[in-house]
Amino acid sequence: MTRPPKVTPFLWYDSDAEEAAEYYVSVIPDSRIVDVMRQGEAALLVTFQIGGVIFTAMNGGPGHPHTDAFSISVTCEDQADVDRVWAALTDGGSEVACGWLKDRYGVSWQVVPKQFYALMSAGTPEQSQRVMQAMMDMVKFDVAGLQAAFDG
């Protein structure tokens, strides 16, 4: 097994860790399966990299469902990137609010355009407040809506 970094997020799945990891690496650029440790035919631990970050997933059986207390945040380049990632991760999952969603495996994600961070850091406190309020009213981020709120 390839040794993961000293600190890595660790996700517990009932039995579909390898399937989830394969799905994630198909959605997020700069991603790959690093290693699969098997117990007989079944995957026990899956080490994978998404967006340059190493994760470990384990098939540990039922009793430890994912919660909103842990989420994976993806910064997207533009609206098209937000739309692509959002569509892929909500397929079989559910939309939540404010750029958050839950994927088909129960993992929470935040899909955020880089423009949100830029607008929140630019301009006046009033502009930042308008951008924040616009975001609070969105389910999936809308870059044009954020810009319109910034512009007043």
149: domain CATH number?
3.10.180.10
Residue 75 domain flag: yes
pTM exceeds 0.85 for this model: yes
Question: In the chain, helix, strand, coil percent, each to 5?
Answer: 35, 30, 35
- What is the rounded distance in angstroms from the CA atom of residue 82 to the CA atom of residue 91? 14
Environment class of 110 (CB within 10 Å of its CB; exposed 0-12, middle 13-18, buried 19+):
middle
What is the pLDDT at residue 2?
Answer: 57
Tell whether the model's pLDDT for residue 100 goes beyond 90. yes
* Segment 121-141, tens digit of pLDDT: 998 999 999 999 999 999 999
What is the pLDDT at residue 3?
Answer: 62
* Segment 33-64, tens digit of pLDDT: 999 999 999 999 999 999 999 999 999 999 99
Q: How many domains does the chain have?
A: 2
- What is the rounded distance in angstroms from the CA atom of residue 76 to the CA atom of residue 113? 5
- Tell whether 48 and 94 lie within a shared domain: no
- Tell whether 76 and 134 lie within a shared domain: yes
Tell whether the model's pLDDT for residue 1 goes beyond 60. no
> Please, which pLDDT band fits residue 4 given cuts at 50, 70 and 90?
low
| Domain region containing 115 | 66-152
Q: What are phi and psi of 11, to 5 degrees?
A: -115, 135
Q: What are phi and psi of 75, to 5 degrees?
A: -90, 125
| Closest alpha carbon to 113 in 67, 70, 88, 147 | 147
Residue 27 domain flag: yes
Residues near 109 by Cβ (< 8 Å), separated by ≥ 6?
Answer: 71, 72, 73, 74, 89, 100, 101, 102, 103
Q: DSSP assignment, residue 9?
A: -
